[in-house]
A and B are shown apart, each in its own frame.
Chain A
Amino acid sequence: MKRRIPLIITFLIGTILIFSFFIPPMKNLEQTSTLFFDVIAVFAFFLGGGNLLRVHINKLRRRRKDWGFSSVTLIGFFVTLAAGLFKIANPGGIAASPTTEGALLQEIFTYVLVPLQSTMYALLAFFVASASYRAFRAKNREATILLLAAFVILLGRTPFGMMLTSWMPDSLSVFQVPNLAIWVMNSPNLAGQRAIMIGIGLGVISMSLRLILGIERTYLGEEGA
């Protein structure tokens, strides 16, 4: 029964969502099922928060390796929670939104969270460089083609690329580096992406049918039927 109920729910909701795409009066049911998911997700958030606290409090209490990081996590968690819950330093008082300018929660967001997020995001630039270095080594035919395509696109997106081939007459403008870059992006690249998208679409249909028909049950913690 523990497994059968989720399977029935999956079948019903899956079928409703498919039919609602074609049957206009069922549109509301689609919205209702999506709303149900949101409600469940909100309750599950407490599970997540509880788990986070349990893991880090245990680590701190038992002085496990790297427990210092756990103390930072816990301090951050409780300070942010208190700032939002009690609306600490809120210019509009308890009645105003905790995201008002000057409120502690908003200050934490602006001066702690956003810079930290930006820092992590900024790492991407360095990782792109290191990954490109490895990917673009001309070790075989495919990698050489990739290297050439990347070279054309990188050059085509810079003023230097334009300058390099601007002397070409209009009749040969298709061979100017910026135009070559556009061609690479719009023709071979787009064709490849669309092929992948068609595959993904078909894969989603097949996977969804396996889930709806109850053939695929691994996600419920059960071997396939």
Chain B
Amino acid sequence: MTDFDTTKIASDLEKVVVAPVSSLIASDHKYDNGESIDLLWVPSIDDRLVNGKVIGYKVYRIEDGGEPQMIAELASGSNAYNDQSVERGKLYSYFVSALSSSAETPSTKTASIEPQKEWLNFKLINVLIIALVLGGAVIYFIETARRGKKLFVRKIAGLEAVDDAIGRATEMGRPILFIPGILDMDDVQTLAALTILGRVARMIADYDTKIFMPVSRSLVMTAARETIKASYQAAGRPDAYSDDAVTYVTDEQFGYVAAVDGIMVREKPATCFLLGAFFAESLILAETGNSVGAIQIAGTARPAQLPFFIAACDFTLIGEELFAASAYLSDEPKQLGSLKGQDVGKAIAMIAILIGVLTVTIGEVWNVGWIQSITTKLMEMFSTK
């Protein structure tokens, strides 16, 4: 006669066993370097019922026929998981367990897959085409300008004022303050600021005006020194250059602001250039510059800071004008040609916006299906998702 473990049977009877998940599919994640796998399943029937007993799911992975390892625990209602910790060239098998408050029911089948890499992200093909058109337009106009064709570039008030601002400082015998934003050399706004610095420094070297340039990044300090030094050399006055023109202060945002405000109040610059990436410090710097009576030329590609500069500075380079400044100041045909290329991008944007507004309006008012599909296609065309 067999002895039954009555305690175990009672315990098993008390366990709440739920139905397993079904239709588990593992597929290679599209358009990546073979670094992730997508899992999809139909949730347990007990999860789909009102007041279902499923409290969650556990995802298990078997790597190259080894032992199963739990890799994720998901909430009830989940039906997908993206495993991003896989390596190319290995075979992975998966199963998913449905969890109740006291038991775990694994899926009846496992799903296996080996991750693959793709050579081109076809999801971004629309972006690639737009980038090629824009890049092609920029290069075309650079070449056109190189061949000697005259290109019209509209006047930018802020840049027209650069000469006058430097002249004012020279006449007043007061220094110029140049702030290249608070980000490092890997930010394109800082690079734009340094390209403008090159042009400004050339004039400063010609006029023998003093410049202060406190910076918040060491790399910017090094690059700015090189830029100013080259401008002095180009002006034939290398002896007038001093490393002291550019000083490192601190990486700390408000520490930097305190130092620059101090310099403004003590040195009373006649002209302040605030060009580059700015955050909350933009208005503090601009208002202090205003209070010491400096002419201020500011520019940033951060839309949130533009209103502050517009309110507190004499001239503001709005967004793209900051990037156009160097080309504009240089007056070199090749550089101006690149600005002309931007106009093609603007034309594309304007046409797309116009078509978008029309199709959305007509589609909504008259509920025309094919017009609504144009809107969808247009949105997909400019999407990176």
Stretch at the interface among B42-50, B59-67, B334-342, B359-367: B334-342
Interface string of A193-204 (1 = CB under 8 A from B): 100111111111
Are A219 and B120 in contact, CB atoms less than 8 angstroms apart? no
A205 at the binding interface (Cβ < 8 Å): yes
Among the 9-residue stretches A82-90, A131-139, A173-181, the one with 4 or more Cβ atoms under 8 Å from chain B is A131-139
**If A24-B117, A199-B320, A211-B191 touch, does A205 touch B138 (CB 8 Å cutoff)?**
yes
Task: State whether the Cβ of A222 lies closer than 8 Å to any Cβ in chain B.
Answer: yes
A58 to B301, CA, bound (A): 37
Report the tally of A-B residue pairs with Cβ distances under 8 A. Answer: 212
A22 x B128 contact (CB < 8 A) = yes
Given that A22-B120, A24-B121, A25-B117 are contacting pairs, would A196 and B319 also be in contact in the complex, using a CB cutoff of 8 Å?
Answer: yes
- Tally A residues with Cβ within 8 Å of B: 66
B119 cross-chain contacts in A, Cβ below 8 A: 23-25
A199-B310 contact, Cβ under 8 Å, with A41-B218, A48-B221, A206-B138 = no
Chain B residues with Cβ below 8 Å from A48 are: 217-218, 221, 248, 251
Which residue on B lies nearest to A225, using beta carbons?
B334
- A206-B341 contact in complex given A117-B255, A215-B142, A218-B199, C-beta closer than 8 Å: yes
With the chains together, A41 CA to B284 CA distance in Å? 27
Given A41-B218, A199-B346, A206-B341; A24-B303 close (CB under 8 Å): no
Tell whether, in the assembled complex, residue A218 and residue B301 are in contact, meaning their CB atoms are under 8 Å apart: no
Contacts of A216 in B (CB 8 A): 195, 326-327, 335
**Whole-angstrom distance from the CB of B282 to the nearest CB of chain A?**
10
- The answer to whether B254 and A218 have CB atoms under 8 Å apart is no
Query: Roughly how many angstroms separate A104 CA and B230 CA in the complex, as a whole number?
Result: 44
A63 located at the interface, meaning its Cβ lies under 8 Å from any Cβ of chain B in the complex:
no
Q: Is A37 an interface residue (CB 8 A)?
A: yes
Stretch at the interface among A91-99, A121-129, A157-165: A121-129
Q: Which residue of B lies closest to A192 (CB)?
A: B303
Task: Point out the residues of chain B lying under 8 angstroms from A221, CB to CB.
Answer: 198, 226-231
Q: At the interface, yes or no: A102 with Cβ under 8 Å from chain B?
A: no
Question: Are B330 and A47 neighbours in the complex by a CB distance under 8 Å?
Answer: no
Interface residues of A in 15-68 (CB under 8 A from B): 18, 21-25, 27-28, 34, 37, 40-41, 44-49, 51-52, 55, 65-66
The answer, among B117, B139, B244, B322, for a CB contact under 8 Å with A203, is B322
Write out, one digit per residue, whether chain A residues 4-18 have a CB within 8 A of any chain B CB (1) or not (0). Answer: 000000000000001
Annotate B117-156 by CB proximity to A: 1 below 8 A, 0 otherwise. 1111100100110010011001100100000000000000
Q: A121 and B280: CB pair below 8 A?
A: yes
What residues of chain B lie closer than 8 Å to A22, measured between beta carbons? 120-121, 124, 127-128
For B121, the chain A residues whose CB sits under 8 A away are: 21-24
| Residue of B whose beta carbon sits closest to that of A44 | B218
Residues of B within 8 A of A220 (CB): 226-227, 230
| In contact, A203 and B287 (Cβ under 8 angstroms) | no
Asked whether B318 lies within 8 Å of A131 as measured between CB atoms, the reply is no
What is the CB-to-nearest-CB distance from A130 to chain B, in angstroms, rounded to a whole number?
6
Residues of A with C-beta under 8 A to B124: 21-22
Of the candidates A52, A65, A207, A224, the one whose C-beta lies within 8 Å of that of B334 is A224
CB distance from B220 to the nearest CB of A (A): 9
Q: Is the CB of B135 within 8 A of A200?
A: no
The smallest C-beta distance from B179 to any residue of chain A, in angstroms, reads 15
Contact of B284 among A34, A44, A123 (CB under 8 A): A123
Residues of B within 8 A of A222 (CB): 230
Quick one: closest B residue to A135, CB to CB? B311
In the complex, which residues of chain A have a beta carbon less than 8 angstroms from the beta carbon of B18?
none
Within 8 A of A (CB), among B222-255: 222-223, 226-231, 234, 244, 247-255
How far, in whole Å, are A52 and B322 apart by their CA atoms in the complex? 29
Query: Do the beta carbons of A66 and B266 come within 8 Å of each other?
Result: yes
Question: A204-B301, A209-B135 in contact; A52/B247 too (CB < 8 A)?
Answer: yes
Q: CB of B33 within 8 A of chain A?
A: yes
Question: Does A127 contact B284, Cβ atoms closer than 8 Å?
Answer: yes
Most buried by A among B194, B262, B323, B341: B323
Of the candidates A124, A196, A219, the one whose C-beta lies within 8 Å of that of B318 is: A196
Query: B312 to A131, Cβ gap below 8 A?
Result: yes
Residues of B within 8 A of A40 (CB): 219
- Beyond A24-B33, A209-B338, whether A203 also contacts B320 by CB under 8 A is yes
Contacting residues, chain A, for B118 (C-beta < 8 A): 24
Query: How far apart sit A112 and B209, CA to CA, in the bound complex (Å)?
Result: 38
Of B31, B142, B199, B335, the residue contacting A24 (CB under 8 A) is B31
Interface pair B199/A203, CB less than 8 Å apart: no
Complex: A196 Cα to B219 Cα, angstroms: 29
- Which of B117, B222, B338 meets A44, CB within 8 Å? B222
B323 touches A204 (CB 8 A): yes
A170 at the interface (CB under 8 A from B): no
**A47 to B14 alpha-carbon distance, docked (Å):** 70
User: Is A208 at the interface (CB under 8 A from chain B)?
Assistant: yes
The CA of A21 and the CA of B306, in the complex, are separated in Å by 29
What are 18 inter-chain pairs, A to B, with CB distance below 8 A? A21-B124, A21-B127, A22-B120, A22-B121, A41-B217, A46-B218, A49-B218, A66-B266, A117-B255, A121-B254, A124-B283, A127-B283, A127-B312, A198-B346, A200-B320, A219-B195, A220-B227, A221-B226
- 19 additional contacts, CB 8 Å, given A22-B120, A66-B266? A23-B119, A23-B120, A23-B121, A24-B32, A24-B120, A24-B121, A47-B222, A47-B248, A48-B221, A121-B254, A131-B286, A131-B311, A199-B318, A200-B303, A203-B342, A205-B342, A209-B135, A218-B198, A219-B191
